[in-house]
Amino acid sequence: MPPPVSLSRSLETCSEEASSSPSVNVRAGATTRTQKTKTSSGNKKRGRVATLKTRPEVEQIFEGLSFFYIPDNDIAPVRRLRINRAKEFGAEWTRDMMTATHVIVEKKLVYKDVEKLWPKDGFGDRAPPKVVNEDYPLDCIQFRAIVDPGQKKYLLDGQVTTETKDKEVLLPTSGVVDSGPGTKSKASSLPLKPQHHNKRKWDYVPPRGTPSQGEESSLMKSLPKANARSKTPPKKDDELSEFISMMQEFKDLPLDVDEDDDAQSTSVGSQHQVDLDQGSGSENERPSKRRSSRRVRPTNKAITFKDRFACNRAGRKDAGQDNPNARTIEMLQKMNSYYERVNDHWRTLAYRKAIGTLKQQTVKITTEEEAYRLPSIGRRLAQKIEEIVTTDKLKRLEYAEEEPTNSALQTFLKIYGVGNKVAQQWIAQGWRTLDDIKQHVKLTPSQMVGVEHYDDLNTRIPRKEVTALGEVVKRAAAKMDPMVQLIIGGSYRRGAESSHDIDFIVTKPGTESVAHLKSFLNTLVAQLERDEFLVARLASSRAGSDGSKWHGCCVLPKIKGLNDDDEEYRPIWRRIDFLLVPEVELGAALIYFTGNDIFNRSMRLLASKKGMRLNQHGLYRDVLRGPDRVKVTEGELVERRDERRIFEILGVTWREPWERWC
DNA sequence: TGGCTGTACTG
DNA sequence: CAGTAC
DNA sequence: GCCA
DNA sequence: GTATG
DNA sequence: CATAC
């Protein structure tokens, strides 16, 4: 594999600006097709400027800004294109730094190079221009917003940051550059989101009238979007498109690559085409900054089989507040709940996994590439993460939340017994509020309770109260059968500070089937109902079935020292569940009822990959699954009593309940 | 391109 | 069984 | 949405 | 009606 | 619940 010498040479030709960035050209050359080899004169003038488009006013994001480029010319085709792009969006190209609002520096250069050009006398009264690398304008265009120029990703080599926060800005010598007004840009960005196949699904449909929503594959990113915009029908032959595709391919590559990159690639060295240049060993782990489609997951970060399962990665609660990615997580969670609402089951799953991954990060994830290297974060999510970090918002989410039916959906789904089908149906019938529902809809008994006690049932239960409720039940139970054990599971067992409901695992030494506990539960429930502790029954075993659970509502009685201080004690309805578990199955049941659900699914998935099966009853092996993965054989029971043994057999290192937050 | 945990209860 | 819940 |  | 899906 | 026994 001889290095592409010839190519690079031809490039150099076109890069008359010598000293600077031969590399750029290399690429251009390599891409041949673009301007046939002989880029020079003829083609060059072929009115690129003439093709300058004017974009709709709303897109004039750079209005009032003037960019000073370093190097100060537009000889290199790529830079010329970039300058023109900036102009399209309202920027002025200035050749005088004194009038510039931003100094756009080629990545190959370091901060010192900028200092050389920096006016010795400063800028007088006016704020000095912001110094950023060439990614800055591109990102602004991509997000259709003036993003914070102080972000790390726009720093030059050798540039020092002033603040430790996210928004640091570097100041040139005399510098007093703050991130300036509008660091939190409010500018509108365009949606970047390919709508999906998602057959037969009521997928989200962007509100009409909003700016192009469209298709835009993740690989296409910003530029193509422009052409595809509704208003201006794309012109196939537009020569700009040629550049566009070229830009897409290279815009994220450092402009220096190639043969000379060598040495300290501390810079955003890229090793694209690593395979080409022999040994040079640039195959360091540098996350290739390219955003092209080519998937190059760094191989160095080998993820072992078992590490791919969430149940094997540590996780504790809390990962929230102080987490450096809190903002990102918050936004993704909103997207997640949106997809939950529209019943996009699998996307919801993907988001939850990604959020889990993010929660475990100890450093802030800033760029797409950085995010992409993490497990369960693919291109699409990585892009969204970068968008959030860069613009502090997510366009896709804004559209989603604008959906008029969205709020009604959100309301209805929080009613016990109402899922997506029913909620959609109600909305289709025109109902939008709880009142509408109360008046016009025939509810099932469960839904009735759900509506009547809507607020109570959607209020989280403080841990302290869960404990208190637990005591009430345990006391009653002990009175009727001291041998029975009640274990509070769910998030409480994981150590949560508040829970959505209370889960009791009801078991008793010596029991081998739920039948042995059924009568006890009936008695217990009956008693607690008389005590007016249990106030509603939502679901309980059907006659014939295994009958192992009971769902209902309860209220905490007035208790000395806990809630008797207020003259007005109002009982709050709480969701309560009982699960009958024969003692022999306690381990499996504990795993199941401790969760969280991602943890459980992960454990079960791992089990199934190992030819085993895990459910609330136990761990089985040699499960035979027929042709359509239909379970043919139950499999042989391996373990069910001992929680730890189940972990062991699955090859999962033991994790305490409070370590099962995924 | 197909899978994505596995089960119990309601109506 | 579809829908819902866990 | 992610992944094998 | 009761069982089944 | 809808359908079947």
pLDDT at residue number A254: 28
pLDDT at A267 exceeding the cut of 90 = no
Q: Which of A221, A384, A393, A395 is catalytic?
A: A384
Return the CATH number at A412.
Answer: 1.10.150.20
What is the percent of chain A where pLDDT is above 70? Answer: 63
What does the longest C-alpha to C-alpha distance in chain A come to?
97
Residues 85-144 of A with CB under 7 A from strand D: none
Strand C–CB A462 distance below 7 A: no
**Distance, CA of A421 to C1' of C2, in Å:** 10
Beta-carbon contacts of residue A323 (< 8 Å; ≥ 6 apart)? A329, A358, A359, A361
pLDDT at A536 exceeding the cut of 80 = yes
Range of lowest pLDDT (A368-382, A516-530, A552-566): A552-566
Return the CATH number at A55.
Answer: 3.40.50.10190
Residues 562-601 of A with CB under 7 A from strand D: none
Q: Is A384 assigned a catalytic role?
A: yes
Return the CATH number at A539.
Answer: 3.30.460.10
Kindly report the bases of strand C lying within 7 A of a protein C-beta atom. 2-6
Where is the domain boundary, A120, A148, A166?
A166
pLDDT-based confidence at residue A209 (cuts at 50, 70, 90): very low
Q: Which position has the higher pLDDT, A94 or A406?
A: A94
Strand B–CB A613 distance below 7 A: yes
Return the CATH number at A374.
Answer: 1.10.150.110
Q: Both A48 and A155 in a single domain?
A: yes
Q: Both A622 and A549 in a single domain?
A: yes
pLDDT at A196 exceeding the cut of 50 = no
pLDDT at A499 exceeding the cut of 50 = yes
Q: Both A28 and A83 in a single domain?
A: yes
Strand C–CB A417 distance below 7 A: yes
**Distance, CA of A349 to C1' of B4, in Å:** 8
Round to whole Å and give the CA distance between A308 and A606.
9
pLDDT at A212 exceeding the cut of 50 = no
pLDDT at residue number A91: 93
Edge-to-edge, what's the strand order for the sheet holding A502-507? A485-488, A502-507, A573-580, A549-555, A534-540
pLDDT at residue number A111: 86
Q: Both A618 and A513 in a single domain?
A: yes
Q: Both A482 and A444 in a single domain?
A: no
Q: Using one digit for the tens of pLDDT, what is the confidence trace for A596-649?
A: 888 888 888 888 888 888 888 899 886 565 555 555 566 788 899 999 999 999
**Distance, CA of A506 to C1' of F4, in Å:** 38
Strand D–CB A337 distance below 7 A: no
pLDDT at residue number A227: 33
pLDDT at residue number A213: 29
| Beta strands A549-555 and A534-540, pairing class | antiparallel
Q: Both A377 and A441 in a single domain?
A: no
Counting the structural domains of chain A, the total is 4
Q: Both A551 and A632 in a single domain?
A: yes
Strand D–CB A379 distance below 7 A: yes
pLDDT-based confidence at residue A475 (cuts at 50, 70, 90): very high
pLDDT at residue number A472: 94
Strand B–CB A605 distance below 7 A: yes
* Kind plus residue range of the DSSP H or E element containing A498: strand A498-499
Is residue A195 one of the residues assigned to a domain?
no
**Distance, CA of A235 to C1' of B3, in Å:** 40
**Distance, CA of A119 to C1' of B5, in Å:** 65
**Distance, CA of A444 to C1' of F3, in Å:** 22
Q: Using one digit for the tens of pLDDT, what is the confidence trace for A445-460?
A: 999 999 999 999 999 9
pLDDT at A507 exceeding the cut of 50 = yes
pLDDT at residue number A547: 66
pLDDT at residue number A607: 87
Q: Which nucleotide is nearest to A198 (CA to C1')?
A: D1
Strand B–CB A343 distance below 7 A: no
Strand C–CB A340 distance below 7 A: no
Q: Which nucleotide is nearest to A344 (CA to C1')?
A: D1
pLDDT at A206 exceeding the cut of 70 = no
pLDDT at residue number A448: 93
Strand C–CB A419 distance below 7 A: yes
Round to whole Å and give the CA distance between A41 and A39.
7
Is residue A15 one of the residues assigned to a domain?
yes
**Distance, CA of A307 to C1' of B4, in Å:** 17
Is residue A256 one of the residues assigned to a domain?
no
pLDDT at residue number A63: 92
Cβ-count burial A151-189 (b if 16+ within 10 Å, e if not): bebbbbbebeebeeebbbbbbbeebebebbeebebebbb
**Distance, CA of A410 to C1' of B3, in Å:** 28
Q: Both A397 and A432 in a single domain?
A: no
pLDDT at residue number A492: 93
- Are A560 and A472 contacting, i.e. CB atoms less than 8 angstroms apart? no
Is residue A624 one of the residues assigned to a domain?
yes
Q: Both A578 and A531 in a single domain?
A: yes
Q: Using one digit for the tens of pLDDT, what is the confidence trace for A38-75?
A: 333 333 333 334 456 778 888 889 999 999 999 898 88
Strand B–CB A540 distance below 7 A: yes
Q: Per the structure block, which two tokens stand in for A462?
A: 């403080």
Strand C–CB A341 distance below 7 A: no
- Are A635 and A624 contacting, i.e. CB atoms less than 8 angstroms apart? yes
How confident is the prediction for chain A on average, in pLDDT? 71
pLDDT at residue number A19: 33
pLDDT at residue number A233: 32
Q: Both A330 and A358 in a single domain?
A: yes
Is residue A238 one of the residues assigned to a domain?
no
SS3 state of residue A329: helix
Measured in whole angstroms, the distance separating CA A355 from the mean position of its chain's CA atoms is 6
Q: Please tell me which residue lies nearest to nucleotide B10, judged from CA to C1'.
A: A539
**Distance, CA of A616 to C1' of B5, in Å:** 11
Is residue A470 one of the residues assigned to a domain?
no
Once rounded to an integer, what is the mean pLDDT over residues A171-175?
Answer: 32
Peptide bond into A2 cis (omega under 30): no
Burial of A620 (0-12, 13-18, 19+ CB in 10 A): buried
DSSP output for A199-223? TT-----PPTTSS------TTT-HH
Strand D–CB A380 distance below 7 A: yes
Q: Please tell me which residue lies nearest to nucleotide B5, judged from CA to C1'.
A: A601
Q: Both A388 and A413 in a single domain?
A: no
Q: Both A327 and A448 in a single domain?
A: no
Domain of A451, in residue numbers = 406-457
- Are A662 and A316 contacting, i.e. CB atoms less than 8 angstroms apart? no
Round to whole Å and give the CA distance between A162 and A179.
11
Residue A497: phi and psi, rounded to 5, are: -80, -20
**Distance, CA of A136 to C1' of B7, in Å:** 52
pLDDT at A370 exceeding the cut of 60 = yes
Strand C–CB A421 distance below 7 A: yes
Q: Please tell me which residue lies nearest to nucleotide B7, judged from CA to C1'.
A: A615
pLDDT at residue number A634: 63
Is residue A175 one of the residues assigned to a domain?
no
Where is the domain boundary, A166, A187, A218?
A166
pLDDT at A397 exceeding the cut of 90 = yes
Q: Is A495 left (phi over 0), alpha (psi -120 to 50) or beta?
A: left
pLDDT at residue number A583: 92
pLDDT at residue number A365: 95
Kindly report the bases of strand B lying within 7 A of a protein C-beta atom. 3-11
Is residue A191 one of the residues assigned to a domain?
no
Q: Please tell me which residue lies nearest to nucleotide B11, judged from CA to C1'.
A: A444
